[in-house]
Amino acid sequence: MKNVLLILGILVSVHTTFGQSQISKDSLVREVSQGNNEAILLIKNDSVLDAETLEFLKQLASGQERKKAGSSAYNAHVALARLGNENALNEIGEEIRQNDPESFTGMAKVFLVGGKYSLKTFFSLLDDSTQIESPAKDILYYPKNVMAVLYLSKIIGNPPTKKGVPSNNINAWKAWFAKHPEVIQ
């Protein structure tokens, strides 16, 4: 936690107003131009952005580079989704629906977006056992529902698995959501 606060203080000039962080375009431009793409991920769902900063994020998130993890475009796409941008949320949803490795890029973004959106999305994938094939045929990918529960086990502080039960037990997760419907409503 100390590291996050230190990074927040050093990397991006953030001004707190009524509990919300206001991030300026100048600070984002400076950090991105210095190669610090992670600064973009400091934008959370309660961040306050002016129109110019929001437009800067949209420009960064455009194009195919947003599929490359860690790039400024990828991180801007996540930040826009965190802010509730419908286009970004729809595009990430489309990435997940793909039956190729791109769907895993979308799942990683969903994890980074966090919150109820992540829980709802991963819950919706529990019945999707689509097996993704590698274009090169030399990589084995987990089915989408297994990937979803692996992400859920990182999100939920007390996962619904018992000693000896793998964290990818899909039925255990379905039972957990049945007991905790409030997390996805």
Residue 3 lies in a domain: no
Q: How far apart are CA 185 and CA 117, in angstroms?
A: 10
pLDDT tens by residue, 122-131: 999 999 999 8
- The half-sphere exposure of 116 on its side-chain side, counting CA atoms within 13 A, is 9
SS (H, E, C) 33-97: HCCCHHHHHHCCCCCECCHHHHHHHHHHHCCHHHHCCCCHHHHHHHHHHHCCCHHHHHHHHHHHH
pLDDT digits (tens, 9 = 90+) for 45-65: 878 888 888 999 999 999 888
Last residue of a domain, one of 71, 99, 127: 99
pTM value is: 0.81
Which residues, listed in sequence order, are joined to residue 48 by a DSSP beta bridge? 22
Residue 8 lies inside a defined structural domain of this protein: no
Domain interval for residue 173: 114-185
**Is residue 77 in some structural domain?**
yes
Cα–Cα distance for residue pair 122/125, rounded to 1 Å: 5
How many CA atoms within 13 Å lie on the side-chain side of 28?
24
Mean pLDDT on 90-108: 92
In a domain, 108, yes or no: no
